Amino acid sequence: MSRYLVTAALPYANGPVHIGHLAGCYIPADIYVRYLRLKGEDVKFICGSDEHGVPITIKAKNEGITPQQVVDKYHKMMGDAFKEFGISFDIYSRTSNKIHHQTAQDFFKTLYDKGVFEEIVSEQFYDEEAKQFLADRYIVGTCPKCGNENAYGDQCENCGSSLQPTDLINPKSKLSGAKPVMRKTKNWYLPMGKIQQSEEFQEYIKRFENWKSNIKGQCDSWLKEGLQPRAMTRDLDWGVPVPIKGAEGKVLYVWFDAPIGYISATKELLNESWKNYWCNKDSKLIHFIGKDNIVFHAIIFPMMLQQHGEFILPTNVPANEFLNLEGDKISTSRNWAVWLHEYLEEFKNKQDVLRYTLTSIAPETKDSDFSWKDFRGKITVS
């Protein structure tokens, strides 16, 4: 008997679950876990809501509620949808839990004490009226490429250009409307380029040879380009507070704390014996994700685990491509999706019919497409 820890990507708690999530991550993970259980393997299946980060604070502000109210609403909705569709997690936890904050802070502190981080002072936009630093999404202005007056600090949604906040003409704060000023701030960076060169990381990436070609291809191209240091802390008031002196008003970068959510959820499920799964070389760690998460699961999180020193590294990261809807990319902001709770209103007790269809078109190696015509064809007995 082997021991497996299988994780499914923590869904982001700012909207409900749609068919693309199910087809690309949760159904494949669930099928794999059910197979392992049938074989009699020792397996734990871990998931939960990712509840930090800037988009949740923006949603809260737009709706006039607190970030906690936003995540409470979607955590429940997502958990209910997974249950309805038979995704057999051993635990569905959440990152606003106390045990997660503690685990993520301890993890950060360990890396900090080992001198892993680089402290870097940079200039960021600051809103003097709202008295806070502005995340890229909190800055709007005119796009230098197409003239759209409502471009964000990281991207223009009109022409699709990816931007730096300093590229914007006439930048304004979304919080107060004030013109932001540049102010210096210190953050803690993971020196990814340096870690990439280390012998132990070079040893780890040999595993990519046995992984799916879409993942290996993406990882190889990043590694070839060379990795840059990335800030693991942010000037923001929603998230896990950075547990060191001089970091007041800062939180952990959401992509630092979210994967640690797998560890905290395992602790919550198993108490003391969580280490059998995370810190024992005989265990296998498998992350099911969508293709937009590859860099975090195949490179950044393994670097964090390796630098920490107590943990095993992923045995495999099966990432899937995307499921489209009627030939078009699924989009939450354009409301182009089949939401699971709405599906159930139309098709009462027909969960397995959808599970079957999504399994048959799972986007394992390339993007696939869901259409209602195809759905009807697959489920009608003629």
Measured from the CB atom, the residue of 134 and 143 that comes closer to Zn ion is 143
Cβ 167 to Zn ion shortest distance, Å: 10
Measured from the CB atom, the residue of 158 and 176 that comes closer to Zn ion is 158
* The one among 102, 132, 148, 351 contacting Zn ion by CB under 5 A: 148
Q: Does 176 bind Zn ion (CB under 5 A)?
A: no
Cβ atoms of 291 and 319 within 8 Å: the answer is yes
Measured from the CB atom, the residue of 102 and 158 that comes closer to Zn ion is 158
Round to whole Å and give the CA distance between 316 and 306. Answer: 15
151: left (phi over 0), alpha (psi -120 to 50) or beta: beta
Which DSSP symbol is given to 300?
Answer: I
Q: Does 159 bind Zn ion (CB under 5 A)?
A: yes
Q: Does 195 bind Zn ion (CB under 5 A)?
A: no
> According to CB under 5 A, which residues from 200 to 259 bind Zn ion?
none
- Positive or negative, the CA dihedral 319, 325, 329, 332 is negative
* The one among 65, 120, 146, 279 contacting Zn ion by CB under 5 A: 146
Q: Which two tokens stand for residue 169?
A: 């003409």
Query: Of the listed pieces 17-25, 61-69, 144-152, 344-352, which binds Zn ion according to CB under 5 A?
Result: 144-152
- Helix, strand and coil percent figures for the chain, each rounded to 5: 45, 25, 35
Q: Does 156 bind Zn ion (CB under 5 A)?
A: yes
Going by C-alpha positions, the residue among 52, 10, 26, 71 that lies closest to residue 340 is 26
* The one among 145, 179, 207, 341 contacting Zn ion by CB under 5 A: 145
Q: How many residues bind Zn ion (CB under 5 A)?
A: 7
Measured from the CB atom, the residue of 155 and 196 that comes closer to Zn ion is 155
Residue carrying structure tokens 């606003």: 96
Q: Which helix (H) or strand (E) covers residue 8, if one does?
A: strand 3-8
Spell out where 180-280 has E strands.
181-190, 230-231, 233-235, 250-252
Q: Does 315 bind Zn ion (CB under 5 A)?
A: no
Measured from the CB atom, the residue of 167 and 235 that comes closer to Zn ion is 167
* The one among 97, 102, 158, 306 contacting Zn ion by CB under 5 A: 158
Round to whole Å and give the CA distance between 105 and 91. Answer: 21
Cβ 164 to Zn ion shortest distance, Å: 13
* Binding interface with Zn ion (CB under 5 A): 143, 145-146, 148, 156, 158-159
